[in-house]
Amino acid sequence: MKNIYFIGIGGIGMSAIARYYNAKGFKVSGYDRTPSPLTHALESEGIEVHYTDDISYIPNEVEDTLVVYTPAIPADMGELVYVQEKGYRVIKRSRMLGEIAEGQRCMAVAGTHGKTTTSTMTSHLFMDSGEGCSAFLGGISKNYNSNLLISPNDVIVAEADEFDRSFLQLFPEIAVITSMDADHLDIYGDEQHVKEAFKAFASQVSGTVIIKHGLDITPADTSARIRTYSFGNPEADFHAEPLEDGHFNLHYPGGVIEDCVVGIPGWVNVENATAASAIALTYGIAPEKIKRALASFSGVRRRFDIQVRKPGCVYIDDYAHHPEEIKAALSSIRRAYPSSKLTAVFQPHLYTRTRDFAPEFAQALSLADKVILLDIYPARELPIPGVTSEIIFKDITSEKILIRREELMGYLQNEPVEVLATLGAGDIDRFVGEIAEMLDRR
């Protein structure tokens, strides 16, 4: 193959693979529905991107072209139907990542939430320590300004995505599982099938699987060695002992790394750091190098991402789009700013997820003092009768208002802000820069 064509190239996982093959000298191009900062970055790196469903952009050398697509693309999308009918080799993004990882020492991070920050932190521990790694990340690392890292060694850090059972294409040497909560029920049907998929993933780990303490992964599920991690629970093999001002002692089977601190705030990031450190320690990276790397970690865009921090006003943006993620984000913010009014803006993502978890969303959002709720971002889905943001809104117990997306900036112009959080996986990120500029001017 000399051409690699991506259908849905602007996705965070797809773009990392596109960047990888572009760096390897392949002719890379692709389609995405709308321009974004990520597609503009790809274009600046020499990758051709177009935004109309048009088969004329597809390389016509069928035998020399590999087509990669994301399952977020509708099955009847014109370009996808064309390449399938014309005999191109067509594979899903997850299979492509699996092929890249074959024959390499794979460090994988799975979980219904926490995996992007944890995998990005893991890759930073490998890079900052001098060990190095190639990494395919589900977010933009602020240390490296990319979702892709490339190193000459055979270590690969991968975010193992459970959507569409994608992570079953990976066979890691060391893996972390952060959580196994019900999600993607449009794919799995129920929580039991979600857990069965994670158990199947654990069975594919060859060395050590490191699970959040309390998760139901047992020796019956995997031949790998099982270790546990936790924030604050001394029964776990790897655990953080909280100190003051965000500092902590990191206990591990070989001893303790004293007085650690993560370069970004929030107790949830200490928990993620414990998981990432568990991978690095299991691999063999020296404790003192891990301590240094944790302190220099700058975070991931849209993961507890502090946009404004000045006296009387803090603004944090986060990708949280599942009730457990919202609960973790808001409780972390509350712990960091206990005496300030916390206002949360949330854009629900997917009709099915809203339908399946409406009461849980309401409960999690009620941790904020005030909730500004937007319309549902549909992504790949068609509307479901009776499913609107109202089914979340009615059960929120905090001060609340329901507005349309296009009303948000006008509303915020007159809103007093002490601590503001924007939450969601849709296109709410398009407002982040504008909100930050507005708050900076106050």
Residue 380 has pLDDT above 80, yes or no: no
Mean pLDDT in the chain?
95
187 pLDDT band (50/70/90 cuts)?
A: confident
Provide the percentage of residues in the chain whose pLDDT is more than 90. Answer: 89
45 — pLDDT class (breaks 50, 70, 90)? very high
Over residues 181-186, the mean pLDDT reads 76
pLDDT in tens, 289-337: 999 999 999 999 988 899 999 999 999 999 999 999 999 999 999 988 9
Residue range 330-359: mean pLDDT, rounded: 95
pLDDT of residue 38: 92
Mean pLDDT of 257-271: 94
211-241 exposure pattern, b = at least 16 Cβ within 10 A, e = fewer: bbbebebeeebbebebbbbbbeeeebbbbbb
Q: Are 108 and 173 in contact (CB under 8 A)?
A: no
| For residue 113, pLDDT beyond 90 | no
Pairing of strands 255-260, 248-252: antiparallel
The kind and range of the H/E element at 5 are: strand 3-7
C-alpha closest to that of 313 among 286, 293, 343: 343
Burial of 80 (0-12, 13-18, 19+ CB in 10 A): buried
Average pLDDT over residues 221-238: 97
Contacting residues for 124 by C-beta, under 8 A, at least 6 apart: 141, 143, 144, 293, 296, 297
pLDDT band at 186 (very low <50, low <70, confident <90, very high): confident
Distance, in Å, from the CA atom of 185 to the CA atom of 187, rounded to the nearest integer, reads: 5
CA distance 160 to 165: 9
Per-residue pLDDT of 115-141, as tens digits, reads: 999 999 999 999 999 999 999 999 999
pLDDT for 346 equals 98
Q: What is the tens place of the pLDDT at every residue in 397-426? A: 999 999 999 999 999 999 999 999 999 999
Given a cut of 90, whether residue 185 has pLDDT beyond it is no
Average pLDDT, stretch 4-13? 95
Q: Which domains does the chain have, with CATH numbers?
A: 3-93 (3.40.50.720), 102-295 (3.40.1190.10), 305-441 (3.90.190.20)
Residues with Cβ within 8 Å of 379's Cβ and at least 6 positions away in sequence, in order, are 72, 349, 350, 426
Kindly state the percentage of the chain with pLDDT values over 70: 100
Question: What does the pLDDT read at residue 416?
Answer: 94
Beta strand extents in 64-104 (DSSP E only): 65-69, 89-92
Query: Per-residue pLDDT averaged across 250-275, rounded?
Result: 95
At residue 37, the 3 state secondary structure works out as helix
pLDDT, residue 164, reads 82
3-state secondary structure of 323: helix
Q: Which pLDDT band, with edges at 50, 70 and 90, does 188 fall under?
A: confident
Residue 181 confidence (pLDDT):
85
What pLDDT score was predicted for residue 363?
98
**What's the pTM value of the predicted model, to 2 decimals?**
0.86
Asked if residue 222 has pLDDT above 80, the reply is: yes
